[in-house]
Structure 1
Amino acid sequence: MSIFDKLLNKRTITSPIFLKEFDYNNKQLQDLNDLLEKVNDAKKNLINRDIFFIKQELYGEKNVYNELKNSFIPMLAVHDIRLEFNDYVAQYDFILITAKCIFVLKTKQLNGDIDITEDGDFVRIIKNKEGKFLRKQGMYNPISANEKDAHILEEILHREKLLNSITLKPIVVISNPKAIINKSKCPKNIKSNLYKYDQISTLIKKVLDDSKYAKELSEKNMYEIANYLINNNKEENIDYISRYSLDKVRNLQLNNVEKHVDLNEKEIELSQNNDDPKQSEKSNNNEHSEVYELLRQYRWNKSKEEGFKPYMVFNNEELNSLIEAKPKSKEELLKVKGFGPKKVEKYGDAILEILNK
């Protein structure tokens, strides 16, 4: 390479540049806090619980963000990106674009002691307040979920001709400083892709110093990738009316609620008259609301147990389809949109139990 070429390719990215910054007060948190002031006490507990979990996740992501921000690593970074590709939806906590490698980071706020077996199974050790062993509990492998999301990102970037030969590396970052992870017996692919947040800078520097990462992206290409991610970020539109079964006026203090929640007038009964002649219709709606809440609660519990987002168990559209179809067996459940053999095998029994109570 000539001196002239070297000058043209002079690197100007010398430290972390966040093109989409971490924001603790994200839209979902703001929406829930606004909604909290408008609902009755029966729904406040549900919303407060969701706010607590979101704050926990954001606290962990802030730990990772601070570590990256102070790493002095030359890279472009984006936080909280959601991409849609074919029938897939992928959520990325952090995507780090360096000249030699793109890092796909999923943060996990794991609590307690986690053992990883030789087979790659994640096992949580449950203890009481005194630290005495109570039981073991299996949990979802976050490595697998992140690898799938990284593969989707790679497919998208190849399709858009933004990526040729450099590597994408998925990493799960444990953002809870008190978590204890035992990796002594786990498979090599898990051991190399799972780190505590205070180790992430050292890991990235080690990867970038590795001689096998010889090919480099131009800074122009790096910015093209980052801008593509930002421009194609699809924020999730959450239906809070359905999530919290807010289809009745008695669940809402209607003064000024229209300023905060997009309510469909057809979904709200403006009359609170107990002598409504459509009593059977009301009873049916109450039953649907109860089933909806039970399914939503199951989805939330399962997502926390397995370590990924609730929509990956089943999304709101699929949830509504379940209530409408009312399947009585796994064969009928397979006919519901979004429920293939794997999902039915994994969640079918529990879903049918809720629907058929």
Structure 2
Amino acid sequence: MSIFNKLFGQKRTVLSPTFVKDFSKDNNQLSALTELLNKIVDGEKKDSIERDIKFLKYGLDGENNVYFELKNSFLPILCLHDVRVSYEDYVAQLDFVVISSKFICILETKKLSGNISIDQDGNFIRTMKNRFGKEYKEGIYSPITQNKRHVDILKHVLSKELKINNMPILSLVVMANPKTIIKKYKCPAEIEKSLIKYDQIKATLEKYQNVKANQYDLSEKDMFDIANLLVRLNTPIAMDLEAKYQLSNGEYQKKDDEQLREELTSYRLQTSRAENIKAYYIFNNAEMEDMIAKYPRKEEELLEVKGFGKVKVEKYGEEILNIFKGQ
């Protein structure tokens, strides 16, 4: 904070939660999975995709619970949702980031089924019931450890980019399932204070905001500089779903031959007019029939079609493959 602001004060304009990167249930991964699901024939792969969609929706519901609590906290904070920070060789996927004049807080959201207990060694154990009502337990990776790694990365980024070195950066793991019971009476104190239910978010953040020993006091410009830096470093990654589910051509629903002829002919005509060339220069009827028979979905498969070399595939391949992929 500048000396001028310390001496004469600075009028605050952030008086309530302000989302610099807002929450949205229109999740790109969910959209991609749903689109893929509609293209796959029935079978184990389709079941696997349906299961992943269910889990993703479940997680988004949990993040929506956290979003609601932040949005209605009446705290003077900046918030960001779903930021994938990529910096140097480091990557951190942050569910929520809260920026106050006194601290920064990374919220790792978990909407887990069952109840959670933490032992004296900091191990997380989840207790669940099977379909017959019998309880069973399983260990899960510590979300505390995961989020501490995110804190370390953010400290490094702020030091390098904005020369901020002493800003308190807090880690909170938020259990977003209202039915989950957390048993932490035996756990280490560091974990106990870092693990909360989503309805405790406001009280927890207020406590840190009002810590008298915390002498840090960011200006609003500094707060927005941090938020805008995270937006700039946000690098969403597009998952290769075909590779993840090891999909083959035989597992896709295919368009019938007549539909393909109609779409390919239309594409050929529009492209030839745009380039002012003969339509058969793009592909002739024999090449089109070979294409339909081989039903390519990848560049290497299109290269096997009669009349398609590397140059033609580079020029027209993406749009042709999109026809076969239904895009």
Quickly name the TM-score band, shorter chain normalised.
0.7 to 0.9
Please give the secondary structure, in 2, of the residue aligned with 1:41: coil
Deviation of the 1:267 alpha carbon? 5.1
How far apart are the structure 1 equivalents of 2:3 and 2:61? 48
Structure 1 position 230, deviation (Å)? 0.8
**2:46 corresponds to which residue?**
44
Tell me the amino acid that sits aligned with residue 139 of structure 2.
Answer: G
SS at match of 2:203: helix
Aligned length: 266
**Where in structure 2 are the equivalents of 1:183-194 lying within 5 Å?**
183-194=184-195
The Cα shift of 1:236 comes to 1.2
Deviation per CA, 1:224-262, whole angstroms, max 9, x where unpaired? 11011111101012001211222x32122344999xxx9
Matching of residue 264 in structure 1 with residue 265 in structure 2: no
Which runs of structure 2 are paired with 1:259-298 in the superposition (5 Å)? 264-266=298-300
- Give the 3 Å change call, closer, same or farther, for CA 244–136 of structure 1 in structure 2: closer
Alignment of 1:130-209 (within 5 A): 132=134, 134-209=135-210
Match of 1:56 among 55, 58, 61: 58
Unaligned runs of 5+ in 1: 272-357
3-state DSSP class of the match of 2:222?
helix
Alpha-carbon separation, structure 2, partners of 1:7 and 1:71:
29
Q: Residues of 1 paired with 2:120 and 2:37: CA distance?
A: 45
Structure 1 residues 269 and 174: alpha-carbon distance in aligned structure 2, compared to 1, 3 A threshold: farther
CA distance change for structure 1 residues 66 and 268 in 2, over 3 Å: closer, same or farther? farther
- Check conservation: 2:81, 2:96, Cα contact below 8 A: yes
Aligned mates of 2:26, 2:304 — CA distance in 1? 33
Distance in 2, Cα, partners of 1:208 & 1:8: 18
CA distance 1:15–1:75, change in 2 (3 Å):
same
C-alpha distance 45-4 of structure 1, shift in aligned 2 (>3 A): closer
Gaps of 5+ in 2: 264-295, 306-327
Partner of 2:86: 84
Please list the CA deviations of residues 266-298 of structure 1 after superposition, one character each: whole Å capped at 9, or x if unmatched. Answer: 157989xxxxxxxxxxxxxxxxxxxxxxxxxxx
Structure 1 residue 126: Cα displacement: 3.0
Listed as ranges, the matches of 1:1-357 within 5 Å are 9-42=10-43, 43-128=45-130, 132=134, 134-246=135-247, 248-255=248-255, 264-266=298-300
Deviation at residue 10 of structure 1 after TM alignment: 1.2
* Whole-angstrom distance in 2 between the partners of 1:68 and 1:47: 31
Q: Secondary structure at the match of 1:61?
A: helix
Say what the alpha-carbon RMSD is for the aligned residues: 2.6
Q: Distance in 2 between matches of 1:269 and 1:2?
A: 66
Contact 1:106 1:171 in 2 (8 A): yes
Closer, same or farther: CA 267–75 of 1 in aligned 2, 3 Å: farther
Task: Please give the alpha-carbon distance, in whole angstroms, between the structure 2 residues aligned to 1:265 and 1:40.
Answer: 22
Q: TM-score, normalised by structure 2?
A: 0.75
Letter in 2 for 1:107: T
Deviation string, structure 1 residues 1-30 (Cα, Å, up to 9, x no partner): 999866661111000000111111211111
- 1:249–1:269 Cα contact (<8 Å) kept: no
**SS in structure 1 opposite 2:116?**
strand
Determine if contact 2:155/2:165 at 8 Å carries over to the other structure.
no
**Which SS does the other structure have where 1:62 is aligned?**
helix
TM-score, normalised to structure 1, is 0.69
Cα deviation, 1:65-101, whole Å, max 9, x if unaligned, reads: 0000000000110000001233332100000000000
Q: Is the 8 A contact 1:74 1:98 kept in 2?
A: yes
Q: Are 2:113 and 2:128, in contact at CA under 8 Å, matched by a contact in 1?
A: no
| CA distance 1:113–1:165, change in 2 (3 Å) | same
**Hey, what's the Cα distance between the residues in 2 that align with 1:220 and 1:139?**
40
- Structure 1 distance, partners of 2:301, 2:239, is 16
The 8 Å contact of residues 174 and 198 in structure 2, kept in 1 or not, is answered as yes
